[in-house]
Structure formats: C-alpha cells, structure tokens
Structure 1
Amino acid sequence: MKLTDREWDTFRIDEIFDNISRPISRSKNQYVSGDVPFIASGASLNGAVAFCTPKNDERLDAANCITVSPVDGSCFYQPTAFLGRGGGGSSIIILRSNNLNRNNGVFLAMAVNHTTSKYQYGHMATSDGIKREQILLPVNDKDQPDYQFMADYERELIQQKHEKYLNYAKNCLSQLGIPVELDPLDEKKWAPFFLNEVFDVNSGVRLTNQDKENGKKPFIGATDNGNGITGFVGNTNKSQDSNVLGVNYNGAPGIAFYHPYTALFSDDVKRLKLKDESHNTKNVLLFMASIVMKQRGKYSYGYKFNASRMNRQRLYLPVNNQGQPDYDYMEQYIKNKMIQKYKKYLEYLGK
C-alpha cells in the first residue's frame, strides 16, 4: 500500500477528535514504582517517564487515545490505561475519538505530530490552540477520513517490521552460536581493580551548538537515555572514536553506554577502551558498562565523576585462576544473555 495512491484533505483537529482534555493534576513524584506508565511531556518511550503504582481507588486515564506534549508537540498513541501528567501548562493534552483504535492509532498520531511538532518551550501548545490546528489525512470517495485505509496501511507496515525483525533475530542467533554453561555470578570469584588499570581513559571535545554542522554522525552527550546520543553532526575532531564505552562525568554522572559506531564525544563524556585490545569487544564492553554503572550512586552534580576520581574508581570484576579479569567469561556471559533474549523475542513473535 502506498500513501501516494490516495487522495488527501485537511481537517481541523476538533473535527477528528470529539474529546480534547487534560489529565487531573498529578506529578510522578507523588507515586512509588509500579507497572502503570506515567505519561508526561517526553519525546521518547511513548511519552512514559516512569512506571508507577496508582493510589487507592485512583481512576486511570483510559487507553485508546493520543497524547500530545505541549512542550515539543510529540504525539503518541496510548494502547493501555495510564497516569497522565496534569496541572500547569506543560501537562499533556489528550485526544479521543470513537474512530480511533489500535489499528489506526499510530497513523493518526503521526498525522497530528506533523502539525504539532512546531511547538516548543517558549511557544507551548494549549488545548484551545490544538483544536484549531489542521491535519492532512487520506480520504475516501465521500471526502471523509479513510480510517480503514489508515488501519490497513498500519497493519501492513507492522507486518513488514515484524518480518524484518524476525529475520534479524534469527540471523543474530545463528551468529551467537549455542549457549555455554558458566558459573553463576554469585559463585564466580571477583576482585577489585582500579578503572585505569583496565581502561585507557580519553576525553571528549567541547562542541557548541553554534559550531555544530549538519550530518549523520552521532554526537554523544551527558544524557541518561538514547544510548547517550544527543544529536547528529557532520563535524570531525580528535574525540571521534568507535567501539568504546562513553561514560558521563557530568550531567548524569556514571552512566555508561557502548558505542560500536563512529561518533563524536562531548567534553562531558569520557571514552573508555580496554588496555587489553584483544578483548575490547562488543560483549565485553557491554558487560563492563553494567559494572561501571554500579558505582554511579555515589556521584552527583556536586560530586562529579571527574578524571581523577574516575581513574581511581574501583571496579569489581570476575577473575580467572591467575587473578586477572576474566574477559572470556564476560564475553560468553553476554552471549548467553543475548541468546536467551532473542529466543524469548522469537517465542513472543511466534504467538
């Protein structure tokens, strides 16, 4: 199915959605951890900024709606009940319609987002303003929104993605081989090492927004999500690297991400590469990322994970019979985990 095969027309948002509202006043800080998504003005993860336990007898925001962030216009279809961030101008806006369902929800969310993406912190969306916005939709022979086409197109796209991932997971499994039985983590011998005993530590380079050039190269900043990628640039400098751990020492200190691709690193991120180059592999570095992040609880904005503290940070690592870091164990441990995960994914897709 092709979008170009259809006739399209514009509609006001309040023509398509008969209920436009905001959640009741609530903040995620009022809740303890749970399994209900808390939807706020986030631009990723379907707008979920936490998973919470509702209060006694609290009524959830019903599923089957589109949430809009007034801060940046991000739109997401919500297939399950949730706790919506309410109170204040930055609370989310909820769009509901009897024509909305799981089959066409993402299509409509994307259509809305094409209009709402113009909003920003200095020019936030309002409920009344959203109502007047116009969106472009495919129409049927009666010049009405063609909800059936939207549903069919979305289903076809999902099926294509499904098959693509199925083939990808099978290919990854074939490359990983068969799992190897290992000593459990709690039965393996461990020993402490200073970080600079096992890693070469290199700095990033400051790159201001004014100096950034458009491009496709990941730029790694001191964030705690998106694998550390804060944008894409066309610049080149001495921070350019690949197959390394990027470790934040500012912003969100102690967060570590593995970067297999060529990227630039900000001056808030250190680049860690194993001194033992023969074991500086994807799986070992993924294992190491979790080890490094075990230490992040002691650091904060006021007690930075700076270069001197980073070098003298002790890391507890599994060791071999010679008392050296057991990189072979780390490699196979991650392989076993990935095999387990891919098998679970395939079982899920098979259902």
Structure 2
Amino acid sequence: MNKIKTIPLNKIFNISYGSQLDLNKLEIDLKNGINFISRSRENLGVQTKIKKLSNKTLFKKGSITVTLGGSYLLSSFVQKEDFYTAQNIKVLIPKQPLNDAQKKFYCYAIEHNRFRYTSHGREANKTLDDLLVPSLDSIPDWVNTSKIKTPNRKAVLNKQLTLDIENWQKFDYSEIFNIKKGNTPKKQNDGSVFLVSATGLNNGVSKTVASATNPNKRGLITVSSNGAVGDAFYQNQDFYATGDVNILFPNFDCNQFVAMFLITVIRQEKFRFNYGRKWGKEKMLSHKIKLPVNKNNQPDWQFMEDYIKSLPYSKSL
C-alpha cells in the first residue's frame, strides 16, 4: 500500500471567512432567496433562504463550507447552490478543478480531524488553513470510481401542508411509546448487526457486531440519553443498542414517514439537556411530547405521515 502524502489544506484550496452574517438582521425570502449556511450538520448546513444582498460577496455553488466552532465544528459540505454564510464559517474554493467526489473526499478528511477540537473550547479558526490532508495524488482510486446513488428529490404527495403548532396537544411519552433502555451485547465481535450508541452521527450507529442474542427489530426509534442527548433516529434495520440509548416501541402502527415526523419533534427537546444533563428512560417517561391532533383530540398519525410525504426527497425514504 502506497504511503499517503499529506499537505496543508491551503495548498489545495483558497480559504477565507464566509459572509459573517447574523440571521436576525436579514430578510427571509423562501421563494426566491439565496441559501443561508449556518453552523449546522443538517441539510448541508442550509438553515433558510434570504434576500440577495448588494453589499456582500455571493459565494458560488461547488464551494465547500466548514463550520469552525459550536457543537458540530468541522462539519463540511459541498454547496449545491450559491450561498451566504453565518458567523464562524470558512469557505474553501479549489485552486484547481476538482470533481464532486474529490470535494466530498476532502470534506470527510476535514471532519476526520474533529477529535482535535472541542465545542466552545479549542476551535478551528486559526488552524484550519494548515490542517494536513491527503494530497491530490494520494486520493484513493475508489473515490473517483465509486458510484453514489443520487437521492430522489421528489415528494410522495404533490400537495402543500402547513403546521399549525398552536393547536397541537401534549401527550405523555408513555401514552405513545413503550420505552426500554438499550442493552449492549456482552461480546462485540465484528459482524453485520448495527450497534446504536449515544452519538449524533451516522444514524446513531457506532459499529457493526456479530449477532448473539435476538437484536431489536427494525422500525423502532432510538434516542440518545447521554452524550448527544436528544438525538433521535429511525432504525430501518435490526440493531443492538448501548445502555446510553432509549429504544422507543410505538404503541400504534408506525411507518417510516410517521417516525421521521416524530424524531424531528423529539429533537426539539435537545436544548433542555445541555451541561451534562441526561435523558434516561424514567425521565423520558415523565416528559410530554406535543403532537398534531385529529377531531377526537388524539394524535393525528395520518396528518404526520402526509406531511412528511409532502416534503422534497420523501420518495427516497
């Protein structure tokens, strides 16, 4: 195996701070606006769309954005449309032509250095430019030959649905779910069954292990009770889970569309668990979840399903 040659990131990219804008000072324009990139790991970092600004440089699609601080520092994305950025984000523009696969490779290489930094501690502002990454001639051949399936952007339902949160009602988690704590297999030999842990990455999956006892069946929701507290995921394959994960067994007929709606609602509770607070099974059972209701004041599962189906990319679920 050839030794990988590493060089500073700024030998491959022209690196600069982004627009350094504050969203609360900008005008939202969802219909005709420009993508606004925030310090998020969701949706390529795109938070919303804003009106075009005459006094700010418009960064071009194909550039890479890198988050320099916060909870998701070094989150790196190839932007699909022209954009502006929030504070504490750098923009990388290749010094020579790179294809999409090569750009994504460098995104992964950058994110792989996240362990060197801490949220709200050592951040990447001063050191990103000199970060060592593989040189162009060290990029593995499979990067250019692998074919990644493009997700279907279409919605299942061709209609617009709105969320009227004011009329939602609260329900005990125990009314909606049977909640169990994860139980890590005693032996974790390499295998093909997902092991879900308290991470906010990779759908919560930290590794794959050999099947020992009966794994949890697919179609369940997992929620981190420690670590990345409140990160919720829908598991579409059989899995095991560690003790830092709550496994939610629905008390109703649940499909992937309803599950995606629910995990989005659950994630809105993350802010309650800063500074080391945990969200164990018993605490979760005592909490409430706010949901849309039908005319009988019961959770409106059909609306939740239809809402997710009305969104772009729902055909890819």
What TM-score comes out, normalization by structure 1 length?
0.55
> Any conservation in 1 of the 2:180–2:281 contact (CA below 8 Å)?
no
2:280 aligned with 1:306, yes or no? Answer: yes
- Write out aligned runs for 1:125-274 (5 A): 133-135=135-137, 161=149, 165=152, 173=156, 186=164, 192-206=170-184, 212-229=188-205, 231-236=206-211, 240-241=215-216, 242-274=218-250
CA–CA distance in structure 2, aligned partners of residues 195 and 115 of structure 1: 40
2:40 aligned with 1:37, yes or no? Answer: no
Tell me how far 1:291 sits from its aligned partner: 4.4
Instruction: State the match for 2:92 in structure 1.
Output: 94
Tell me how far 1:273 sits from its aligned partner: 0.6
1:34-93 CA distances to partner (integer Å, 9 max, x unpaired)?
Answer: 7422579x7x865x48679899945465554456899x999754453454987xxxx868
Q: 2:15 aligns with which of 13, 22, 28?
A: 22
CA–CA distance in structure 1, aligned partners of residues 309 and 66 of structure 2: 37
CA–CA distance in structure 2, aligned partners of residues 245 and 300 of structure 1: 22
Q: CA 1:214 to 1:49, structure 2 compared with 1: closer, same or farther past 3 Å?
A: farther
1:196 match: secondary structure: helix
> Any conservation in 2 of the 1:76–1:106 contact (CA below 8 Å)?
no
Instruction: State the match for 1:109 in structure 2.
Output: 103
Bigger drift between 198-207 and 236-245 goes to 236-245
- Give the helix-richer structure, 1 or 2: 1
Instruction: State the match for 1:341 in structure 2.
Output: 311
CA–CA distance in structure 2, aligned partners of residues 301 and 239 of structure 1: 35
Q: Which runs of 5+ in 2 are unaligned?
A: 27-34, 118-123
Q: Which runs of 5+ in 1 are unaligned?
A: 1-9, 138-149, 347-351
Q: CA 1:236 to 1:19, structure 2 compared with 1: closer, same or farther past 3 Å?
A: closer
1:233-288 CA distances to partner (integer Å, 9 max, x unpaired)?
Answer: 12446693122111222223333222231122222210011235xx2443443444
> Any conservation in 2 of the 1:216–1:234 contact (CA below 8 Å)?
yes
Q: CA 1:235 to 1:49, structure 2 compared with 1: closer, same or farther past 3 Å?
A: farther
1:121-150 CA distances to partner (integer Å, 9 max, x unpaired)?
Answer: 56998756869935168xxxxxxxxxxxx8
CA–CA distance in structure 2, aligned partners of residues 128 and 188 of structure 1: 49
> Any conservation in 2 of the 1:73–1:117 contact (CA below 8 Å)?
yes
> Any conservation in 1 of the 2:308–2:314 contact (CA below 8 Å)?
no
> Any conservation in 2 of the 1:247–1:257 contact (CA below 8 Å)?
yes
The amino acid across from 1:313 in the alignment is H
CA–CA distance in structure 1, aligned partners of residues 169 and 108 of structure 2: 53
CA–CA distance in structure 1, aligned partners of residues 211 and 262 of structure 2: 27
1:135 match: secondary structure: helix
2:137 match: secondary structure: strand
CA–CA distance in structure 1, aligned partners of residues 263 and 133 of structure 2: 46
CA–CA distance in structure 2, aligned partners of residues 75 and 187 of structure 1: 32
CA–CA distance in structure 2, aligned partners of residues 343 and 67 of structure 1: 22
Q: CA 1:130 to 1:92, structure 2 compared with 1: closer, same or farther past 3 Å?
A: farther
Q: CA 1:27 to 1:305, structure 2 compared with 1: closer, same or farther past 3 Å?
A: farther
CA–CA distance in structure 2, aligned partners of residues 214 and 192 of structure 1: 42
Q: CA 1:334 to 1:58, structure 2 compared with 1: closer, same or farther past 3 Å?
A: same
The amino acid across from 2:311 in the alignment is K
CA–CA distance in structure 2, aligned partners of residues 131 and 246 of structure 1: 34
What TM-score comes out, normalization by structure 2 length?
0.60
